[in-house]
Amino acid sequence: MTNNIGIIIGREFNERVRKKSFIITTLLMPILMIGLMVAPALIMEFSQGEEKHIAVIDESGLILPHLKSNESIRFESSELALEEARTALTNHFAVLYIEPDVLRTNSVRLYANSSTSISLEAEITSQIEQIIETEKLKQYAIDDLEKILAEVETSISLQTLRNDKGEFEQGTSSSLVATVLGYILGFVLYMFLLLYGVMVMHSVIEEKNNRVLEVMVSSVSPFDLMMGKILGVASVAVLQVVIWGVLICGVGTLLVPQLMPAEVMSGVEMMQQGSAEGAAALAQMDPDLLQAVAAMTDTGYIVKIFGCLLLFVLGGYLLYSAMFAAIGSAVDNVQDAQQLQTPVTMPIILALLMMLAVINDPNSSIAFWFSIIPLTSPIVMMARIPYDIPMWEILLSLGVLYASFVVMVWFAAKIYRVGIFMYGKKPTMKELWKWLKYKY
């Protein structure tokens, strides 16, 4: 690394770290990630709307007595005829009509006065299905049927153990915890690649319009200028990830044990110690909760996750920032850059969609290959890492990613050398291809 690159790195780093936006983003991002985890539950809680009154005309006499109202639906009996109820009960949300031979037809009708929702229809359907199933069972004249059904109802607590590890010591895994963590890490990579990549592109465009680049290239080579800008912004991203890692380690080791109930922490200790005597006790607890608390309080696990996050953030950023820097040098304004950056952003969006394949099967062929292909590997691999995949896959992905960065820098530098001196015309893809073939 030449001295000029070091100077440019320091300038880019100091310019961004001293901004209030960096401090605010660094402190608020962990809170934002927690908010993303809590948001779906809050949305479901507050999106139920007002209580919906549904008039029920039950000509079978079997369904209405067993319908249960809740916070979103209130069932009310109606003695009116169907046609009369449809015109008279406009103050109700809907009229539910149940035919006399519903046990044979399995058909009911809901006459709504406004649009319904999937959740409301599913709630009504589910209740009626259970009632009809129970009524059909009663036709077999089984004594104490309700008692039998209550006794055979079973809820299983499934513990997933790894054969390649100790029976309990670090051997219990939770697919729910891995899925949530994989989603969070994937989205973090998605935001980093776009945010910092676009930051480099905008910086190049701004300096090009201000004619600052023309002054700088008189004493610094275009390659050193591009590398200094890329590595300078990369150092900001690295600092941000390190700060988040330290904050989460501190919260996990100091605050979580104090906030969790004593029995939960006791269960976590038994799971971590591999106590065979505690197996029965563990079976009575929520394995997902135990695994989540264990992961949050395990400093070694957090360091591993953030170590991988740091390597993939850095590698993914270096790869994409080289392309964004080349785009920024080839145009004069952000509007022209948006068209050229579409082919660059498409793999990032594709990688985000591929997280669904990871959740379905983290060891599938498509999940493996997309975690190796460098344009998608940062996001997809970080979504797979919480599933405790083999280390050789992580190392292979990192090796291909960083090797691809070296190749991409070579191509991007060719465009950068020509683009920073071009003004007034947006280059076509054909012209960019010509720039790549220039010899220096």
> pLDDT, tens digit, for every residue of 287-297?
666 666 666 66
Residue 306's contacts (CB-CB under 8 Å, 6 or more residues apart) are: 241, 242, 244, 245, 248
Report the pLDDT value the prediction gives residue 166, as an integer from 0 to 100: 47
- How many helices and strands (H and E) does the chain possess? 20, 6
Residues with Cβ within 8 Å of 262's Cβ and at least 6 positions away in sequence, in order, are: none
Residue 155 has what pLDDT? 66
The 10s digit of each residue's pLDDT in 383-415 is 888 888 888 999 999 999 999 988 888 888 777
Q: Is the dihedral of CA 235, 239, 245, 249 positive or negative?
A: positive
Q: Scanning the structure block, which residue is given the tokens 């910086």?
A: 203
**Residue 236 CB coordination number (10 Å):** 20
Cα-Cα-Cα-Cα dihedral of 211, 217, 218, 223, to 10°?
A: -170
Tell me which of 38-47, 106-115, 331-340 is least confident. 38-47
Question: Cα separation of 194 and 341, whole Å?
Answer: 11
pTM of the predicted model over 0.95? no
Supply φ then ψ for residue 73, to 5 degrees. Answer: -130, 135
Q: Give the span between the Cα atoms of 335 and 371, in whole angstroms.
A: 32
Residue 382 has pLDDT above 50, yes or no: yes
Question: How far is CA 225 from its chain centroid?
Answer: 35
Domains of the chain: 3-39+172-437 (no CATH), 52-152 (3.40.190.10)
**Alpha carbon 433 to its chain's center:** 36
Is the pLDDT confidence value at 256 over 50? yes
Q: CA-CA distance, 423 to 330, in Å (whole number)? A: 8
Rounded mean pLDDT of 233-239?
A: 83
Q: How far is CA 318 from the centre of its chain?
A: 22
Residue 106, classed as helix, strand or coil, is coil
